Amino acid sequence: MSVDVHNHVMPSEALELLRAEPSYGVNLDADYKWSGAHHVEFAVADSFYDPAAKLAYMDERKVTAAVCSAPPPLFFYEVDDAAGEKLCQATNEGLVRFCEHDGERLHWLANLPMQNPDLAVAAYRAAVGDGAIGAAIGTSIAGRRLDTPEFEVFWAAATELGLPVLIHPGWNEPHAALNDWYLQNAIGNPLETTIMAERMICAGVLARHRNVRLILLHGGGYVPYQAGRLAHACTVRPEITIKADDVWDAFGQLYFDTITHDAAALRYLVERVGADRVVLGTDMPFDMSTDRPMEALTDALDADTVSAVADANPARLFGLDGGR
């Protein structure tokens, strides 16, 4: 069995809302070609919104089950509270319908109106009641950072609910040098994950909320490879109030998906964070996904580690094995 924890769905309910209400700034033609807000122009493939097409796509890539989440183009943290809540409600209702097509293979994470933390908490609780097994949120809430005090109410609720929170790069900080060659994705996405995670550590959010578990995407950004630099800075810089040990302690609350696009990097990731902290992720069906995920695992890892990463770890993390 293989469980993909980073698999995207754009439910028809959400797409039709965006098409019907021009205030969101998205253009969707009859063939679901996306242009306008939040993403470079792309075709919304049928495996984004058709569960049968999703399962066929997974079968071709030897993926047994998927934990489905809305991608950043459906976050819309910059709109007002009512519009954000409306879109999240449509997305979550669509995810329920989508996953009901095959409840053994398809599971879902809640999309939340994080621009209003109180609304996000209420939406999260409602989504869990409807079957969500966690939440998917952005690294930045339209420029507002997850470690700031306004989001404490969300992390308190996440602690209480005890479900994993997948954090996807979104609203990357502008950087002129990344404007060319799609570097805002190739470099900017891993950088956003790194910024988010290290700020959460430095601000003490993870230390205050020990039951929170975060899933860091794209191999965890640069965190597994540069956390030692942050730990060293803790020992020499007065701006940092945490201890070096706090950096490494935080790794006990972090999980890392497998999207490195490089066998050597994936082997190092497993060695650095531990085989029990790595979970299969694909980013399907975007063009930056790992197209042959199981082959990528077997090229890099031994059979026992492949089994842990693809099956045992995701099942344990999300309670798909009957426990958590």
The pLDDT assigned to 36 comes to 77
CATH for 147: 3.20.20.140
Q: 285 lies in a domain?
A: yes
The pLDDT assigned to 214 comes to 98
Q: 323 lies in a domain?
A: no
Structure tokens at 279: 């979970």
Is the pLDDT score of 262 beyond 70?
Answer: yes
Of 128, 125, 3, 138, nearest in space to 70 by CA: 138
CB-side neighbour CA atoms (13 Å) of 85: 12
Chain length of the chain: 324
Is the pLDDT score of 31 beyond 90?
Answer: no
Interatomic CA distance for residues 216 and 279, integer angstroms: 10
Structure tokens at 146: 């997850």
Name the residue with higher pLDDT: 23 or 212.
212
Q: Each residue of 298-323: pLDDT tens digit?
A: 999 999 999 999 999 999 999 997 65
Range of the domain at 184: 3-317
Q: Once rounded to an integer, what is the mean pLDDT over residues 143-171?
A: 97
Q: Each residue of 36-82: pLDDT tens digit?
A: 777 777 789 999 999 999 999 999 999 999 999 999 999 999 999 99
Q: 189 lies in a domain?
A: yes
Is the pLDDT score of 99 beyond 80?
Answer: yes
Q: 103 lies in a domain?
A: yes
pTM of the model: 0.96
The pLDDT assigned to 154 comes to 98
Averaged confidence pLDDT in the chain:
96
The pLDDT assigned to 41 comes to 76
285 cis-preceded (ω within 30 degrees of 0) = yes
Q: 324 lies in a domain?
A: no
Phi/psi of residue 123, nearest 5 degrees: -65, -35
Q: Provide the number of structural domains found in the chain.
A: 1
Percent of the chain residues past pLDDT 90, beyond the cut? 91
The bridge status of strand 3-8 relative to strand 214-216 is unpaired
Q: Once rounded to an integer, what is the mean pLDDT over residues 3-8?
A: 98
Q: Once rounded to an integer, what is the mean pLDDT over residues 217-221?
A: 98
Q: 224 lies in a domain?
A: yes
Q: 111 lies in a domain?
A: yes
Of 185, 168, 181, 153, nearest in space to 261 by CA: 185
Q: 307 lies in a domain?
A: yes
The pLDDT assigned to 322 comes to 64
